[in-house]
Amino acid sequence: MTKKESDNIMSKINCIIKRSGTKVPFNLNSISNAIYRAVVATGGRDREKADELAQKVLVFLERSTQGDSIPHIEDIQDTVEKVLIKNGHSKVAKAYILYREESARRRHEKSMKDSKPSEIIPWAKVWHILDWAVSHNLHSVSALNERIIKGEFPAIVNESESAYEEEIATAADLIVKRKDELRLVFISGPSSSGKTTTTIKLEKRLQKRDLKFVPLNVDHYFFDLSLHPKDEFGDYDFETPQALDLELINEHIIKLCAGDKVLIPFYDFRTGTRTLNVAPLQLKSNEILLIDSLHGLYPPMSEGVDNHQKFKLYLEPLLQMKGPDNKFLRWTDLRMVRRMLRDAAFRAYKPEQTLLHWHYVRTSETRNIIPYINSADYIINSAMPYEIAIYRPKLLSEFAGWVKKYKDDPLREDAYKRAERTYRFLEAVEPVEDESAIPEDSVLREFIGGSVLKYH
């Protein structure tokens, strides 16, 4: 197809209808990106083929769309399946179908969430945290406000930090009990759960107990940026495990656990390119491999290593606090705010960009992280009940602006809902601007700055 022919076809389908009934502009790149994600899921990296197949989908849609009718998103996805199968890409079609079915299942579960408890939430852990929150009068925003107004903010900080440190101590005890068989410790959890700080704190505790760890930075296993899958807006998706060379990671982990030497690659984030076989690494008999990764619980990451040789630690800010609407604050909103502050302070990334990109962060989490929570050997709660009080003066006005900006934007429904929900609880909490009571090695310092810990 010539470029002129392509442009003519693209001009005929201007809009599509989403499942909500909203009409939004048609974007051919969204189809190409969706196909490429399915290609990646089958082990391929041919972006040009994905673009070519997207063009074939466009031709099919043009022929099947009558008059001024507007295609529905389900019709478009049906067409993608047909084109993939017709052109001999059955494996890619299967991956696409599975992803589509999984998305439908998640939508159904979301609609049924009030009538059926989730099987992936660690209920015993959540109940323990809720019991702690009630006993410390930190189970609601109004209760937190009462204590802040009474001048108890330093006491709240101390209680929260002590609970977190106790959980790290418990994790250390569990690891020590298995030190004779362990070769690998994963510290896993979704974005902005506090993995870096927790890793440092845990490592310090274990060093005092004569355990030596060797870190493996899996960021060096990213594929070249040009080969990364993209989200629906065309942004590169670093959150998905398919952005990593899982096959090479698994190969290296197996060899390292067996005592063999490997050559670690180097990933240059400035150029978005990877160089293979750069840095030698080998474990001594008294050393344990330590991996801090979003996807430490994702089975393909270490499927070649026996479970008895692995300890899997999972982090999540499992805050048990009710907001002004009498509903529990969402952990994902808490992490989003953390990431906004961290990215703005350390990565020159505007908070609004984090809000707009959070949709693919969350999509990857629900597919590749959350389902495996209950496979963890231990779960650490990294939430600090006082943290929302210090977030209010930092971001309240920005959230207010985003609520107005995206209220009637059909392409940014997700951003609007998250902004509006977060604005409500930030507006309700008593603000705290004096952060001097927060320890310099607190997990929150990873996001708000001022930490004495050295992050690599």
Tens-place pLDDT, residues 176-215: 999 999 999 999 999 999 999 999 999 999 999 989 899 9
* DSSP conformation letters of 355-417: HHHHHHHHHHHHHHTGGGGGG-SEEEE---TTHHHHHHHHHHHHHHHHHHHHTT-GGGHHHHH
Q: Where are the alpha helices (DSSP H) in 271-350?
A: 331-346
Confidence grade of residue 450 (pLDDT, cut at 50, 70, 90): very high
pLDDT of 68 reads: 74
**Averaged over 375-392, what is the pLDDT?**
97
Confidence (pTM): 0.78
Long-range contacts of 94-101 (CB under 8 A, 24+ apart): 95/38, 95/39, 95/41, 95/42, 96/34, 96/35, 96/38, 99/37, 99/38, 99/41
What domains, with CATH codes, occur in the chain?
3-111 (no CATH), 123-448 (3.40.50.300)
Residue 429 burial (CB count, 10 A) = 24
Total count of residues recorded for the chain: 456
pLDDT of 342 reads: 93
pLDDT at 236 > cutoff 90 = no
Confidence grade of residue 9 (pLDDT, cut at 50, 70, 90): very low
Is the distance from CB of 9 to CB of 54 less than 8 angstroms?
A: no
Strand, helix or coil at 142? helix
pLDDT at 285 > cutoff 60 = yes
The letter for the amino acid at 176 is V
**Averaged over 34-45, what is the pLDDT?**
82
Q: Which of 28, 71, 65 is nearest to 50 (CA)?
A: 28
**Averaged over 98-127, what is the pLDDT?**
71
**Averaged over 357-380, what is the pLDDT?**
89
Structure tokens at 23: 């009409």
**What is the maximal distance between C-alpha atoms in the chain?**
74
pLDDT tens for 133-178 read 999 999 999 999 999 999 999 999 999 999 999 999 999 999 999 9
Q: What is the chain's mean pLDDT, rounded?
A: 88
pLDDT of 37 reads: 80
Angle, alpha carbons 238-241-337 (nearest 5°): 50
Rounded CA separation 163/385 (Å): 11
pLDDT of 107 reads: 66
Lowest mean per-residue pLDDT among 79-83, 218-222, 230-234: 230-234
Structure tokens at 360: 């693919």
Residues 6+ apart with CB under 8 A from 375: 297, 312
Q: Which of 400, 196, 162 is nearest to 315 (CA)?
A: 196
